Amino acid sequence: MNRKTIFISVAGILILAFVMASLIYKNHQSGLKGASGGRNQSVVERQGAPIKGPVDAKVTIVEFFDPACGTCADFYPLVKKLIDQYPGKVRVMMRYAPLHQGSDEVVKMLEAAHLQGKFFPALELLFNNQRRWIVNHVSQPTRAQGILNGMALNHKELTVDMNGPVVTQAIQQDIKDGQALTISATPEFFVNGQPLPSFGYQQLSQLVKQAVDKAY
Amino acid sequence: MSSKDVNEAIWSGWSVLFAAWVLVTTATLGSLFFSEVMDVPVCVLCWYQRIAMYPLVLILAIGLLPYDPKVIRYAAAMAGAGWLLALYHVLLVAGIIPESAQPCVQGIPCSETHISILGFLNIPTLSLLIFTLIGVLLFYTHRMESS
């Protein structure tokens, strides 16, 4: 057989194998996702986690996030927009997935702020100032603390709560559930327990629209 | 050497180089499968190794059609660089090089591995293994050419 023929046919076989494997994997994966959706509601949501939007909304977006994640900060206004777009029907629950180095300390501050009812102002402050407290993709907890110091909070209480059992337990639960849901990147969204078919704002708003149509 | 022997020698040199090409192409598609299909995050060190691996698919292909043994020199330089990076990565994962020395982004420490095949083959080890094999194949082709 001619070398060129050998080369081209082997190249073809390799590419074909890649395409086939991708299709089989994607198929298998979407089957798994469909099967696990809904059933995992208790893992997806946590009682007491910070919620924005009306309490009695029938559509809940659960977002696993890292305060140091740039994409999470980018998505934040979009998620808020979704709540406004369907007044009274959609709420968002924030859960911690501190994947960045140093973020574990920062989520403690957020959860401690949550105990004072200031989770969202604190989160917005941190998201808006990410450049000031994240250096080379590593969270600098002392800098984050410095930024939060400018906020109207009971700082003494915050420091105590940060290492208290309530905060620790909430974060541990989030990390544990995140692992159970195999979250390896942030943000990760679930709409009424249903994961996004693929990542993207379009997909999120689509899924929310479907959920709203179904629930109301 | 008769012309038939010469022909056979070229044939086999070509075949070994071709085997190296199949290897790098499989490795390239495999790594793309991990990152693009399975959504495994890619750390900086993995990217550096990819930089050494991906061009080999084209460089070796050019050296195969038509057969040009000089390609071994160019390919060996890439493979050598990739091998060193893979070795560094494996030592990092093994904990021999301290954590503080790792250049990483986006919360994907290079010292963390995501996939293990047969329980011991993680991606960095696989990368080192492949770069080693490429080196062996290139060296073998070189020997066949110079004899």
Are the Cβ atoms of B37 and A22 closer than 8 angstroms?
yes
- The mean of the pLDDT values for chain A is 88
Q: Are residues A136 and A157 in the same domain?
A: yes
Q: Are residues A21 and A112 in the same domain?
A: no
Nearest to A137 among B21, B29, B105 (CB): B105
Do the beta carbons of residue A186 and residue A175 sit within 8 Å? no
Q: Are residues A32 and A65 in the same domain?
A: no
Total number of domains constituting chain B: 1
On chain A, the residues whose CB falls within 8 A of the CB of B16 are: none
Give the span between the Cα atoms of A73 and A15, in whole angstroms. 38
Q: Which residue matches tokens 């501050």?
A: A109
Mutate to test the interface with B, among A20, A22, A175 (most CBs of B within 10 A): A22
Nearest CA in chain B to A22: B37
More confident residue, B108 or A97: A97
Q: Are residues A96 and A11 in the same domain?
A: no
Q: Are residues A65 and A14 in the same domain?
A: no
Give the span between the Cα atoms of A166 and A169, in whole angstroms. 5
Nearest to B22 among A4, A10, A184 (CB): A10
Q: Are residues A6 and A63 in the same domain?
A: no
Total number of domains constituting chain A: 2
Q: Are residues A47 and A22 in the same domain?
A: no
Confidence category of residue A39, pLDDT binned at 50, 70, 90? very low
Are the Cβ atoms of A185 and B41 closer than 8 angstroms?
yes
Q: Is the ipTM of this complex over 0.85?
A: no
What are the tens digits of pLDDT across the range B35-93?
Answer: 888 777 777 888 999 999 999 999 999 999 989 999 999 999 999 999 999 999 888 87
What are the tens digits of pLDDT across the range A145-159?
Answer: 999 998 888 999 999
How far does the CA of residue A9 sit from the closest CA of chain B (Å)?
11
Q: Are residues A111 and A69 in the same domain?
A: yes
CATH of the domain at A101: 3.40.30.10
Q: Does A48 have pLDDT greater than 80?
A: yes
Residue A165: cis peptide before it, omega within 30 degrees of 0 = no
Q: Which residues constitute the domain of residue B107?
A: 3-146
Q: Which residues constitute the domain of residue A19?
A: 1-36
Nearest to B64 among A7, A103, A136 (CB): A7
On chain B, the residues whose CB falls within 8 A of the CB of A184 are: 39-41, 114
On chain B, the residues whose CB falls within 8 A of the CB of A18 are: 29, 32-33
Q: Mark A183-215 as b/e (b = at least 16 C-beta within 10 Å).
A: bbbbbbbbbbbbbbeeeeeeebbebbbebbeee
The pTM is what?
0.57
Interface residues of B toward A, Cβ cutoff 8 Å, are: 14, 18, 21-22, 25-26, 29, 32-33, 36-41, 61, 64-65, 67, 104-107, 109, 114
Are the Cβ atoms of A14 and B38 closer than 8 angstroms?
no
Give me the pLDDT at residue B103, please.
44
Confidence category of residue B110, pLDDT binned at 50, 70, 90? low
Q: Does B118 have pLDDT greater than 60?
A: no
Are the Cβ atoms of B39 and A184 closer than 8 angstroms?
yes
Q: What share of chain A is helix, strand, coil (3-state, %, to 5)?
A: 60, 10, 30
Q: Are residues A5 and A60 in the same domain?
A: no
Interface check for A59 against chain B (CB to CB < 8 A): the answer is no
| End-to-end Cα separation, chain B, in angstroms | 11
Q: Are residues A3 and A67 in the same domain?
A: no
Q: Which of A41-45, A78-82, A187-191, B117-121 has the lowest mean pLDDT?
A: B117-121
- The mean of the pLDDT values for chain B is 82
Q: Does A97 have pLDDT greater than 70?
A: yes
What are the tens digits of pLDDT across the range A102-124?
Answer: 899 999 999 999 999 999 999 99
Q: Are residues A193 and A109 in the same domain?
A: yes
Q: Are residues A71 and A150 in the same domain?
A: yes
Give me the pLDDT at residue B75, please.
94
